[in-house]
Structure 1
Amino acid sequence: MELLYILTDALETGLIWSVLAIGVFISFRMLDFADLTVEGSIVLGTSITASVMLNNNIGFLNNYIFAIIFAVIGGALAGITTGLLNVKFKIPSILAGIISMTALYSINLMIMKGASLYIGDLPTIFNPLEMFFSNVLKIENIATVKFLTKFITTLLINGIIFLCLYWFFGTEFGMALRASGNNIQMAKAQGINTDKMIIVGLAISNGLIALTGALYVQSFRSSNMDIGRGTIVVGLASIILGEILFGKTTFKRWLIAVILGSIVFQLIIGIAIYLGFSANNLKLLQAILIAVVLANPVIKTWYKNSIKKRGEVNA
């Protein structure tokens, strides 16, 4: 039963974090931009969502749908800020991301008016489907209802994001954005406004990352400043695991690999906890995992060379 719980939890959380992985994928793979805004924009998504949902002074706008919309807009603005720092003020990508991330720390504290917020029993994006399973289909097992609700809802959201991005990156504008990341000098020679592409790409990336925060707070019903710590590692690990396990021969397969990589990553973390790995050391495990994955080509080369040398000695 515990292993079943680990699997279902990996599916639930993996599909939420896969949205973040797609966001990191756009900046890291599509734009070749080392964007550290991630750790601030995901918390921005949670803080805006929680604050909007709890704010009764804005009338009908305080529901969960508008909270998500406002969160995505906030994340996009954070990405635009990082892009402007990079392309207009010539600040290196890593430093531009660090500046935005640092500023977002204070901004998030101001939005939440503290280090955390709890939304209580307020309706969330998962409620309509939860009511359908409970009241219409008469499923009595609460755990089953919650799993089906979160799994199907996040799966649908991932599907919509996948279709939108697959279409977008197939357009002339999307191809220009990809070209800017692949070879910026060649893209400029072709007359592409690479500055514009970087800003738009980072807006999309951080908008998706803030969407992850919005889904997170509606799933776990709380927002706090610690959510953002290590998220860049989670995103990168999901991308690289997906690429190794499922391949990237086509753009469509690459996107699917990122989503599946996020689920596999959460499954590995769940199994580690099941085997007795301390929750306090999860960040260490994540760092080791991504280091091993990144070093995999070198490790394979060393292994092949050692086998070759042994064969030569034995001969």
Structure 2
Amino acid sequence: MSGLMISLQDAVAQGVLWGIMVLGVYITYKLLDIADLTVDGSFAMGGSVCAVMILVFKADPWVALAAAAVAGMAAGTVTGLLHTVFEIPAILAGILTQIGLWSINLWIMGGKSNVPLLKTETIFLNFIDMTGMNRQAASLVIGIGIAIAVSVLLYWFFGTEIGSAMRATGNNESMIRAQGVNTNMTKLLALALSNGLVGLSGGLVCQSQKYADIGMGTGAIVIGLAAIVIGDVLMGRMRSFGSKLASAIVGSVIYFVIRAVVLRMGMDANYMKLLSAVIVAIALCVPVMVRKWRLKKSYTEGV
């Protein structure tokens, strides 16, 4: 039982840290209706930049996190420029950036696929030394604190004029363009902001697990979509924007808890990506099938 509780505690902590990445995916997927595949690369980029800043440049762990967020924003900006300036479809622009980031991340890590941080200072290690908490509890407390701060900042930002314009771009691009808003700029800012959060999450996960890996972002977009779908199912009746942000993080936590329980039941970890894909596919397909069934039923009753 204690082993299960430790696994669940670790899953909740990881879910909160990854939840910041899910917030980034939420911005592009829910607000702009773009499934930005840059995420897989920018998450790993955040981790690799964070690790190198701490290990090679001896930077403060918080400075390394800021550098990870800036690196993610740079990756999102590249995707945004490819999409808005060169008119490459958003999904293809994300794929191109993601592929390029694989090599860039290897270059950042000095040609190594894995950079360990076993004997280096991290925000989690400092917090553990200060409070005496265990690793899971420290990750959970720090993760919740940063997630709340990020959510509050996003809630404030999307209430500003530029933030409202970004939300309106996803709702009705033609209408907001007729109001004189440069929608290319709002898309560019949204992609940069989204991947900045993804890079920040990658840096946090890197410091939490004490290593950066070239493949740590593989499947991140699927995890993000699965978490958003789970959050919508659980908190879909809540309509406020703040609750939507909270649902993204809650969905991430539930996803990692489900994954921990399934692994404890003996499922091969190699099949987790398949499970995530099935969850997303079912969640996206069921509403469509229900809508078609209701439409068909209404025609039948009319006859």
Bin the TM-score by the shorter chain. Answer: over 0.9
- Aligned-partner Cα distance in 2 for 1:298–1:179: 24
Instruction: Please report the RMSD computed on the Cα atoms of aligned residues, expressed in angstroms.
Output: 1.9
Partner of 2:34: 33
Distance across 2 between alignment mates of 1:88 and 1:133: 50
Partner residue, 2:168:
179
* 1:102 aligned onto 2:86: no
State whether structure 2 residue 181 is matched by structure 1 residue 216. Answer: no
> In 1, are the aligned partners of 2:13 and 2:137 still within 8 Å (CA)?
no
SS at match of 1:226: coil
Matching residue within 99, 124, 129 for 2:127: 129
- Secondary structure of the corresponding residue to residue 117 of structure 1: strand
| Counterpart position of 2:55 | 54
State the Cα distance separating 1:183 from its structure 2 match.
Answer: 1.2
Could you say which residue in structure 2 is the equivalent of 1:85?
A: 82
**SS of residue paired to 2:115:** strand
AA paired with 2:74? L
Identical amino acids, percent of aligned pairs: 38
The answer to whether 1:161 aligns with 2:150 is: yes
Q: 3-state SS of the aligned residue for 1:126?
A: helix
C-alpha distance after superposition, 1:14-47 (max 9, x if no partner) = 0011011000000111122221100100010011
Q: Are 1:42 and 2:39 matched, yes or no?
A: no
| In 2, Cα distance between equivalents of 1:189 and 1:172 | 16
Moved more, 13-22 or 269-278: 269-278
Confirm or deny: 8 A CA contact 2:9 2:137 kept in the other structure.
Answer: no
Tell me which moved more, 208-217 or 1-10.
1-10
Aligned residue among 193, 218, 229 for 1:229 = 218
Q: Is structure 2 residue 238 aligned with structure 1 residue 256?
A: no
What's the offset of the Cα at 1:111? Answer: 0.4
Task: State the match for 2:183 in structure 1.
Answer: 194
Residue 245 of structure 1 corresponds to 234
Aligned equivalents of 1:227, 1:128: Cα separation in 2: 24
Offset, 1:132 = 2.4
Q: Do residues 119 (structure 1) and 120 (structure 2) align?
A: no
2:263 partner amino acid: I
- Is 1:297 the counterpart of 2:287? The answer is yes
Counterpart of 1:47 in structure 2: which amino acid? S
Deviation at 1:301, TM superposition (A): 5.7
Alpha carbons 2:83, 2:90 under 8 Å: kept:
yes
Within the candidate set 102, 125, 135, 1:146 is matched to 135
| Superposed displacement of residue 122, structure 1 | 0.8
1:24 matched residue in structure 2: 25
Inter-partner Cα distance in structure 2 for 1:102 and 1:305: 42
1:164-211 per-residue CA deviation (whole Å, 9 max, x = no partner) reads 000000111110110011111111011111111011111110000001
Q: CA 1:93–1:275 in 2, change beyond 3 Å: closer, same or farther?
A: same
Structure of higher CA gyration radius: 1
Q: Does the 8 A contact of 2:15 with 2:256 survive in 1?
A: yes
Q: Unpaired runs of 5+ in structure 1?
A: 135-143
Paired with 1:97 and 1:119, the residues of 2 have a C-alpha distance of: 30
Structure 1's consecutive aligned runs of 4 or more residues displaced over 3 angstroms after TM superposition are 298-306
- Aligned equivalents of 1:7 and 1:249: distance in 2? 29
Q: Which runs of 5+ in 2 are unaligned?
A: none
CA distance in 2, matches of 1:238, 1:301: 23
1:277 to 1:305, Cα distance in 2 relative to 1, 3 A: farther
Contact 2:48 2:212 in 1 (8 A): yes
- The whole-number CA distance in structure 1 between the counterparts of 2:250 and 2:11 is 11
The number of aligned residues is 295
SS of the residue 1:170 aligns to: coil
Residues of 2 paired with 1:253 and 1:194: CA distance? 26
Question: C-alpha distance in 2, partners of 1:7/1:246?
Answer: 21
What SS does the corresponding residue of 2:212 show, helix, strand or coil?
strand
